[in-house]
Each structure stands twice: as C-alpha cells, then as structure tokens.
Structure 1
Amino acid sequence: MPDFLLPTAFIDSAAPNIAAFARQAAGDESDEVTRAVRLYYAVRDGIVYTPYCDFHSLDTFRASAVLARGDGFCVGKAAVLAAVARASGIPARVGFADVRNHLCTPRLRALVGGDVFYYHGYTEMAVAGRWVKATPAFDRVLCDKFGVRPLEFDGRSDSLFHAYDRGGRRHMEYLRDHGAHADVPVDEIVATFAREYPRLMESSPRASDTQFRREAEESA
C-alpha cells in the first residue's frame, strides 16, 4: 500500500499545483470517504474532457501538466485524481480497460476508425479498507450535451461507466480490463494507440478545450 502513496513520473503527487488542488478540494475534512468524494467531483468537473490531445507529448499523461492546462482525456484525468488522492493521504492507482461505444462524435469516430476505445482510464482509491473504482473523465457539461447522466461517486461503490444514456439506449460496454498500475504505462498506451489509431496519431489533433463539447452538441 505505501507504493500507492508515493509520487511517480506521471502521477506526480508532490507537484505544488497537485498539492494545492487537493487541499482546496478536500479542505480540512478528516473523513477519508468524504475526501475521496470531494476530490472525485473536483477533478470530474474542474478539468474539461477532451480526446483531442497531443499523444506524442508526455505532458498529455502527466497529472500536474493536465491540471495546469485544465483539460485532458480519460487517462490524464485519471492520473490527476490518483495524484490528488495520494496528496490527500489516500492510496491510489490507475486502471485501464478497452470499451465499446464511448461518448463519441462523428469526427472522433472517423479518427479512431470505429467504436472501440483502448485504454480507457479510471482511478482506484483505497477507501475504508477496500479499493473502489472511479471514472472522472466526463464532466457534467459534456454529459448534458450527450444526454448522458454524469457518473456519480459515493466513495464506497465502484463508479465505472455509462451503460445507458438517458433514453435507455446502450451506451458503453467494457470489453477487456488491463488491470491497475502504480503509474501510467505510457509506452504501452502509446504503442497501442499507434497500432489501433494511426489516423489519430498521425494528426494528433490538439483542439480548444471546448471543441469536443461543440461536436457533442451538434451530434446529439
């Protein structure tokens, strides 16, 4: 368990902005479950989700850089939640799974060439004596535009994915779990993206943090 409290290359929990964010979000709350919940919502809604990142840049995966930029994709946001949890004294690690039918737009679907998204990132925190999973990727504003309920987290139960949208239609399905890691396995992720998403990696589209929200609104 101590390893999951230490800073790593990408879950850099000792970075000043990570520590400051954790203090502001958790306050002086002594209850571990409540701290975990506060941190989750602060990351979920405080960092804009965007899949349009420079995947050749290590800062796309580094928690302090994602927090400083204010936007990131699922892996970067999972790293931020793990980092602020560690900074708040909660053991944390990152997990990954391949999923089908993500929160997607026609442009993103064309770039990835289908509906399978590899290495979708989530966070695991050791709270009240057990590991719980939380996915802070999709912020409330984005979910509203897609017609999907944002994922809630109570600090005690796993909060992993949107199985159905508000209309009851199938929305996301987990296909394969890649397990939990003490740090983000960047080489593994980038190699998979290069193999599965050549168009995305070649273009490596860096867009404004509201680009995907606009696409979501247009495609809803």
Structure 2
Amino acid sequence: MNYLESSYYFDFENDLVQEIISDYKDDAISNKEKTIGTYTKVRDYWKYDPYSISLSKETYKASSIAKKPTGNCVEKSILLIACLRALKIPARLHLGKVKNHVAVERLMEKFGSNELTPHGMVNVYLDNKWLKMSPAFNKSLCVKLKVEPLEFDGENNSFLQQYNNEGSLFMEYTEDYGHFEDVPLEFMTRNIKEHYPHIFDTNEKITEFKL
C-alpha cells in the first residue's frame, strides 16, 4: 500500500493544505520536526467538535476541513494525514471506538451514549516504525477539561488521554477497527448508523446532522 499518495479525501495539492505546511517545506527540517510541528498546528488551530456528524463525501476532504474553524476527530486526522503526505511522510487513518468518562452529560443527551465511533487517529511512519497520534483535543479544550494535552515527540505513541489531572478516568478505547489507506466512508456510514440509529433516517436522505 502507498501511504504517500493524494486522493479525493487527501487532496494535499490544494492551496489551503499547502499553506498549512508552508513552514515545513524546508529540506533542512527533519521529518520528525515536520511531523511534530504539523501535528501541533492541526491539534490547536482547529477546535474539536464531536457534535457535527456527516455522511457526505465532501465533508471529509482535507481541503474542505481546512476551511472550517472546527473538526471532529476523524476530520482533524484526515487533515493531518494530508499535510504529512504532502511533506512526503507516510501516514494513514486509524479508526476505533472510544468511551468518554468526563463531561459526558451532553454526549449522553445528543448521542444516547458516552461512546464515540468511529473515533479517528493518525498512524505516521517515522524512523522505520509506525506511531499512533491523535490531534483531536485542542489545547484550550484540554485546559477546560482539566486534562493534559497530548504532545507528540516523534518517537512514541501519543493517542490516549486515559486520566485527567485529578486522576479520574477520562477516556478508553473499547474497539479497534484498524488502519486504512484512504477514508472508508462506506464503513464509517454503516458504523454511525449502527451505533446511532436515532440520528439519521433509514432512507438516507439526511447526510449531515448538527447535534
């Protein structure tokens, strides 16, 4: 599989994506430094919003995500992957299911569950090994939730904030759906409808929902 290619979703030739990585196009900067810098930018410049759900292809294009001020975990992961591939750093989407244990009242109200699925993160290939990282929670949100923001050091996995600063369980992975070369929209659509049947009509006329 080629984890460097552009696609409909990872459209990194787009000017908006190129602008995000403009500070990291210098060959003198190592791939590790490029990855850390781009990860931090995507993590913090786009605020995390889990309450916008879509089944539309256009929603999951990196260039479309770049236009917005917010994104959910899958959208922010797609944007980061496009940026990394544009920098010739292999990257792929990894999906799973997570359970939140902090600030769950609105999740329960909107989703009928404190489980979020599919939850997106990024696999990046650095120094001959795949590493996991999650750009979902922006730093300002972490401060609000009293949890340490996930920092990525380019050498270790950084995808799970298991506890908050008070030692309470924050989140946990309950299922691992594996990694994907491109965005698996059909799988994601089935997954969303299976777990949240009350959100979308069965006739599939509704493709976007703001909770």
Shift of 1:115: 1.8
1:1-220 correspondence runs (5 A): 3-24=2-23, 26=24, 28=26, 29-101=28-100, 104-201=103-200, 204-206=208-210
Shift of 1:206: 2.9
**Higher helix residue share:** 1
Shift of 1:192: 1.1
Amino acid at match of 2:210: R
Counterpart-to-counterpart distance in 2, 1:70 and 1:27: 24
Shift of 1:56: 3.1
After superposition, give the CA deviation of every residue in 1:82-136 in whole Å (9 maximum; x if it has no partner): 0000011101101011111266442222221112222210011111111111100
* RMSD (Å) for aligned C-alpha atoms: 1.9
1:135 and 1:159 in contact (8 A); partners too: yes
What is the number of equivalent residue pairs in this alignment? 205
Q: Which runs of 5+ in 2 are unaligned?
A: none
2:96 and 2:119 in contact (8 A); partners too: yes
Task: State the TM-score, normalized to the length of structure 2.
Answer: 0.90
Identity %: 31
1:111 and 1:199 in contact (8 A); partners too: no
Amino acid at match of 2:37: R
2:99 and 2:172 in contact (8 A); partners too: yes
1:51 and 1:72 in contact (8 A); partners too: yes
| SS of aligned partner of 2:52 | coil
After superposition, give the CA deviation of every residue in 1:41-86 in whole Å (9 maximum; x if it has no partner): 0100011111122413323322111111121100000001100000
Counterpart-to-counterpart distance in 2, 1:11 and 1:102: 32
Amino acid at match of 1:86: R
Counterpart-to-counterpart distance in 2, 1:59 and 1:109: 28
- Residues 120 and 82 of structure 1: is their aligned pair in 2 closer, same or farther, counting only changes over 3 Å? same
After superposition, give the CA deviation of every residue in 1:125-175 in whole Å (9 maximum; x if it has no partner): 111111111100010111111111111100110001110011001111111
| SS of aligned partner of 1:5 | coil
**Higher strand residue share:** 2
Counterpart-to-counterpart distance in 2, 1:101 and 1:181: 24
Q: Which runs of 5+ in 1 are unaligned?
A: 208-220
Counterpart-to-counterpart distance in 2, 1:138 and 1:59: 23
